[in-house]
Amino acid sequence: MSWSAETIKRARDIVARYPEPRSAVMPLLYLAMREDGYLTDDGIKRVADLVGITAAQVQSVATFYVMYKTEPKGKYLISMCTSISCYLMGADDVLHALEEASGVPAGEADSEIAVEHAECIGACGGAPACLVNYELIEGLTTEKAKDLVKWLRDGKPETINGDELQTLFGGVTSFDWAIKEENAAIGPYPAFPVFGTAAVNSEALEPGRGA
Amino acid sequence: MAYPLVVTERMMEHPADSHTMERYEATGGYQAARQALGQTRDELVEVVKASGLLGRGGAAFSAGLKWSFLAPARPAYLVVNGDESEPGTFKDRQLLERDPHQLIEGMIIAAKANEVYESFIYIRGEYPKPARRVQQAVVEAYAKGYLGKGIFGTDYNLELTVHLGAGAYICGEETALLNSLEGRRGEPRLKPPYFPAAKGLYMKPTIVNNVETIANLPHIINKGAEWFSGLSDSEDTGTFMMSISGHVNKPGNYELPHGLTWRQVIYDVAGGIRNGNELKAWVPGGASAPWFVPDLHLDRPITKAACAEDGSMLGSGAIIVMDHTTDMVGAAERLVAFFAEESCGQCTPCREGTTWLDMILQRVLDGAGRDADIDLLLDLSDNISVGLAWPPKQTTICPLGPSAVSPVMSLVRHFRDEVEAHIAKGIHSGGQGTPVSIRGSA
Ligand SMILES: Cc1cc2nc3c(=O)[nH]c(=O)nc-3n(C[C@H](O)[C@H](O)[C@H](O)COP(=O)(O)O)c2cc1C
Ligand code: SF4
Ligand code: FES
């Protein structure tokens, strides 16, 4: 598990973007997840070295935030919101449908799919809602949830595009999404070109921070 | 009933491309930034003060006043709070996604007003799409010379970095957010001494404002403080974004003037209750706000003062509507569970208290409640938030712990009979219990 020269350059660019190196810990943890699929001890050590703190310090940060996964989450992480607005609109039933269709109980993962419950994901107007690799589906139903699992299992998509998900499995939305986009997630972490964690990698990292 | 739109006007009129630099500039964008760059700190602070703009992140504190408190030491930083994680709230997501240049222009104005040369937008990790849109806009703005060195041909420099969170509601609390941005655990800092305006990011003076607050700034600079206060008939100026969810026919974000009644908003704006059902209760300002009920509150105006008088708040502008089919114990449990899950764990009353409140509500729901449980809930709540006052007394580093008491107090105040009914059906009262479906195994 060694990082490519390109990844190391990207990591250094991210560090340079902040007034103090330690601020780069969070973006670098995402970069480390992209490298290994989840957060490994090696990834944590590398992040520590890049910003000049100890691995234990990085570990203490990583374990604070639920999106840093220190265990494998397969290729597709389904995060089902069970907070109040989604609960009111039947989220518990949808979560059970996801668990049943995938055979994966919430909080666990097989080699392909992980299922978890999430706290409010900011899609309450389109409740119940879930995320697949942090790409959103609003207006989910138990039936569509089962279709989603089947689609992932059968099709094994390389990347996850939010607009496609919403078209296939979504319903009512919190607001008019209006604009379609090409970007897509490549693993169980948020797709953000700056971190190299998205499928379409634009000019994202520029511009550099003026010294 | 068309209300004047401010922060959502462009996206409503130009849905296909409101997020682009081209559309933004074609609709008057970046003129306010140019103007602000020629104005002094005092002038800018004055106009924002005069506009009456209140922070839209939940605490409704005057934006101009906050700016005037910024300590003189430099460098100073500007951090926009796009962590938006309060259950029921999804307004900033729309503003980030659909009009990112409006936010960037607002940040240029806020930066100039506070003599800031380095700024950040902290966006919650579950919002990669809004973050991508903002990043795209940031790149466009740098390319045009609107960010970076010597912006708009002046000698003013402004750097802007998009920072992604990683799933922690508490990072919406401003001092936790700053810790997070410093690459630390998102634990709130004690205030005093760590007021961001004095000891913020890297212990330097820092302005933290909500996305919607900042998005209003270009309009205030363009059209003036008087225009802004004239948008509303009430003492609260301007418009505000309401996120309406739950059992209404038309959930969604609505930009509204202050001063409408709850009846107008729930029945006219949001289309009334689904299936023609009865309205039972609503949460007026995000998960932390005590509930309102139709008998007492339906015809009350939606203003900061009226909500405070009625013992609640407008908070983040999230309205969660519940119809007569709702199990109120279930609703309260779900709200409390959120706080229990999101407690950062620093303070015992919050960490232990929220967990115990949740466990007691769970057992009541599961048919294992005891007669003493209502008193136990009240006693526990009183330990988390002494005296059970509104606004809550703080025993903790931040207001999260005391917030968790709101749903419990609301439940006991308005729906005590439902708690008693659950307990009466339970095993400790000779019943069978009514095991309910609870969340997945995690
Ligand atoms: C537990 C907690 C969570 C908060 N979450 C948010 C949030 O998600 N977004 C936000 O803008 N403010 C949030 N706030 C309020 C911030 O601390 C801060 O007051 C606000 O960002 C200031 O901006 P404003 O004055 O423009 O509203 C939260 C506060 C607390 C106590
Ligand atoms: S009140 Fe809760 S969330 Fe706030 S600092 Fe204390 S333990 Fe953390
Ligand atoms: S409660 Fe589910 S998205 Fe907000």
Q: Say whether both A54 and A110 belong to one domain.
A: no
Peptide bond into B391 cis (omega under 30): yes
Range of the domain at A123: 76-169
Please report, for the domain that includes residue A26, its CATH number: 1.10.10.1590
Which pair of tokens denotes residue A187? 């693993």
Q: What is the ipTM of this complex?
A: 0.97
**Residue in chain A nearest B407 by alpha carbon:** A84
Q: What's chain B's average pLDDT?
A: 95
A112 and A63 inside one domain: no
Asked if residue A179 is part of any domain, the answer here is: no
* pLDDT tens, residue order, chain B (442 aa): 679 999 999 999 999 999 999 999 999 999 999 999 999 999 999 999 999 999 999 999 999 999 999 999 999 999 999 999 999 999 999 999 999 999 999 999 999 999 999 999 999 999 999 999 999 999 999 999 999 999 999 999 999 999 999 999 999 999 999 999 999 999 999 999 999 999 999 999 999 999 999 999 999 999 999 999 999 888 889 999 999 999 999 999 999 998 899 999 999 999 999 999 999 999 999 999 999 999 999 999 999 999 999 999 999 999 999 999 999 999 999 999 999 999 999 999 999 999 999 999 999 999 999 999 999 999 999 999 999 998 888 889 999 999 999 999 999 999 999 999 999 998 888 877 655 545 544 3
Give yes or no for a contact between B204 and B72, defined as CB atoms under 8 angstroms apart: no
Residues B89, A60: C-beta atoms closer than 8 Å: no
CB pairs under 8 A between A and B: 244
Output the ligand 3 site: residues, CB below 6 A.
A 81, 83-86, 120-124, 127, 129; B 87
In a domain, A99, yes or no: yes
**Chain A residues lying within 8 Å of B180, measured CB to CB:** 26
Is A209 part of a structural domain of the chain? no
| Domain identity same for A60 and A82 | no
Judgement on whether residues A63 and A81 belong to the same structural domain of the protein: no
Contacting B residues, span 165-184, partner chain A, CB-CB under 8 Å: 165-169, 180-184
CA of B176 to the centre of ligand 3 (A): 22
What is the pLDDT at residue A205? Answer: 58
What is the CATH classification number for the domain harbouring A161? 3.40.30.10
**Does residue A179 surpass a pLDDT of 90?**
yes
Question: Is A142 a member of any domain?
Answer: yes
The number of distinct structural domains making up chain A is 2
Identify which of B274, B273, B275, B243 has the alpha carbon closest to the alpha carbon of residue B256.
B243
Chain A contact present for B273, CB below 8 A: no
* Buried residues in B171-181 as b, exposed as e (16+ CB within 10 A): bbbbbbbbbbb
- Are A65 and A84 in a shared domain? no
Placement of tokens 């908070």 in the chain: B315
Residues of chain B neighbouring A115 (CB-CB closer than 8 A): 440
Looking at the fold, whether A34 and A89 belong to one and the same domain comes out as no
Q: A109 and A150 share a domain?
A: yes
Cα torsion B330, B335, B338, B339 to 10°: value is -130
Same domain, A99 and A164: yes
Which chain B residues have a beta carbon less than 8 Å from that of A117?
Answer: 439-440, 442
Q: Which ligand is nearest to the CA of B122?
A: 1
Domain assignment present for A181: no
Question: Residue A137 and residue A135: Cα distance in Å, rounded?
Answer: 7
A181 C-alpha to ligand 1 centroid (Å): 30
Instruction: Judge if A93 and A160 occupy the same domain.
Output: yes
Domains (range + CATH), chain B: 9-230 (3.40.50.11540), 239-323 (3.10.20.600), 328-429 (1.20.1440.230)
- Inspect the interface and report whether the beta carbons of A127 and B168 lie closer than 8 Å: no
Element (H, E) at B356: helix B348-365
Note the helical H segments in chain A.
5-16, 25-36, 41-51, 55-62, 84-88, 91-102, 142-155, 162-169
Distance CA B335, CA B282 (A): 13
Query: End of a domain among A133, A154, A169?
Result: A169
pLDDT at position A119 is 98
Please indicate, yes or no, whether residues A62 and A129 belong to a single structural domain of this protein.
no
Closest CA to B398 of B127, B177, B105: B177
Q: Is residue A174 in some structural domain? A: no
Residue A207 has pLDDT above 70, yes or no: no
Q: A96 to chain B: nearest residue by CA?
A: B440
Which residues of chain B from 47 to 86 reach within 8 Å of chain A, CB to CB?
A: 75, 84-86
- N-term to C-term CA, chain B: 46
Among A26, A50, A69, which residue terminates a domain? A69
Predicted confidence (pLDDT) per residue in B256-289, tens digit: 998 899 999 999 999 999 999 999 999 999 999 9
| Range with lowest mean pLDDT among A42-46, A96-100, A157-161, B391-395 | B391-395
Looking at the structure, tell me whether residues A101 and A158 fall in a common domain. yes
The bound ligand whose nearest atom lies closest to the alpha carbon of B342 is 2
Asked if B435 is an interface residue toward chain A (Cβ–Cβ < 8 A), one would say no
B344-398 per-position pLDDT tens digit: 999 999 999 999 999 999 999 999 999 999 999 999 999 999 999 988 888 899 9
Q: What pLDDT is attached to residue B233?
A: 84
Same domain assignment for residues A54 and A120: no
Give pLDDT, residue B74: 96
Residue B267 and residue B261 in contact, taking contact as beta carbons nearer than 8 Å: no
pLDDT computed for residue B235 by the predictor: 85
pLDDT-derived band at A188, boundaries 50, 70, 90: very high
**Torsion sign across C-alpha atoms B193, B195, B197, B202:** positive
What is the Å distance from ligand 2's center to A127 Cα? 28
Is the residue at A82 inside a domain?
A: yes
Domain boundary among A53, A69, A85: A69
Counting residues of chain B whose pLDDT is more than 90, the rounded percentage is 92
**What is the DSSP code string of A159-201?**
SB-HHHHHHHH----SS---------B-SSS---GGGT-BSS-
The reply to whether A180 falls in a domain is no
